[in-house]
Amino acid sequence: MIHQSEIRVTPAGAGLHGITEPVERVVAQSGIVTGLCHVFLRHTSASLLIQENADPSARRDLEEAFARLARENEPWYTHTSEGPDDMPSHVRAALTSTSETIPVVGGRLGLGTWQGIYLFEHRRHPSTRRLIVTVTGIALAESGGVS
């Protein structure tokens, strides 16, 4: 069985924004108990990460590390027409990923205890971000009632 939905997220600004809950809702709606959940971000200046979800300092440190890795206003940037945060956002997205795949176990995301799914927004003034969530696997009815 395959189930697919689009999630729209409008982040308040740059940084890590939790999206575990809306992805979990798609998995629950799918009826799939065993399989895979693939999340794909349809943008080039943001990315997806699976990271620490308990201590906010881990997210702040990660955001700072990426800000230092791809700084704004580098004199060698040529792609500058969309503002000083545009080219660094592409670099940061290239260093991470635009998709994540998570196992579905017992009808839920198979994330670890301290893991969460994050939209890593790299622009200070982003627009709405679109994500395609595809859940594939065996639904309860297909598995004969056994998960």
To which CATH superfamily is domain 2-139 assigned? YjbQ-like (2.60.120.460)
pLDDT at 140: 80
Residue 127 or residue 111, greater confidence: 111
Using DSSP's 3-state secondary structure scheme, residue 62 falls into helix
Whether 144 shows a pLDDT value over 80: the answer reads no
- Please state the domain extents for the chain: 2-139
Q: What would the mean pLDDT of 84-101 be, rounded to a whole number?
A: 96
Q: What value does the mean pLDDT of the chain take?
A: 95
pLDDT at 2: 98
- Are the CB atoms for 10 and 119 separated by under 8 Å? no
Q: What would the mean pLDDT of 8-22 be, rounded to a whole number?
A: 97
Token duo for residue 73: 């206003």
- Are the CB atoms for 38 and 133 separated by under 8 Å? yes
Q: Tell me the per-residue pLDDT of 47-90, one tens digit each, with 9 for 90 and over.
A: 999 999 999 999 999 999 999 999 999 999 999 999 999 999 99
